[in-house]
Copies of this chain bind each other. A is one copy, B any other.
């Protein structure tokens, strides 16, 4: 019976790797620089080399390893293919097949945002839940939907692309995706900074935010914690967009828990409180009390979710 597995989280700059016991204990972690030269041709071989070296170092036989789970920044299809990964300089590629050929071990691949959601379900803010919605509020808004402990991949690998739920049909400025009015335009770090700029321009109200040359999402939440009135209005607008969207998502999958992660979530419990309040206004009766929680794994969400991916394949 296998005792170990590997969790790999591939980013555009760094590849995070970890050796796990099958119960979720992290035995060792290491990082590799992401080498995107020549269409990223070294990325999978570098990962394979790192794994082989680790097995040798720890004197672990391959027969004791369940396999390798890997999270990647792009849409992964059911057959283990990635359609493209701009940040890795990859076109279409069958990750599971290629990494299996390089290592001789079973491989299961998933989209990085989805895999992070699985990690938070297994060992993080959603521990104990079988059904979960995760919203990752960073530069953009990513998402992951877990139903019965499994990632919802979808027909085009676009399951959980909740950042591009179109929540404001009246928006005039385009999102990076080409549509206008995506959740990402209001609930990401960049989106919150824009809401702040607009609020500062639209009103004469005094605010500590006026002292900043370039207001960030963190500035907004810091000012909000200091009872700055204008910051309160900005946070309420952000929370209304996010809470309303989460309520609609919950009418689809009815999760046990909603987890909020990403850089913006560092604002902490005050953020959750505002979003929960707005969520309850919009949610269907059966789902009104669904808890909203902070992600807790931070940078480890990806490796944890990747490990869970291979364990529950």
Contacts and interface: CB of A to CB of B under 8 A. Distances in A.
A79 interface: no
Interface in A96-143: 129-131, 133
A247 interface: yes
Contacts of A145: 252-253
A161 B156 CA distance: 23
A302 interface: no
A1 interface: no
Contact of A252 (B160, B177, B178, B247): B160
A101 to B, nearest CB: 26
A141 B178 CA distance: 31
A256 B164 contact: no
A164 B150 CA distance: 25
Nearest to A129: B155
A152 B253 contact: yes
Interface string A279-302: 000111111001000000000000
Given A177-B284, A252-B160, A131 B155 contact: yes
Interface of A: 75, 129-131, 133, 145, 147-148, 150, 152-162, 164-167, 169, 177-179, 182, 244-245, 247-256, 282-287, 290
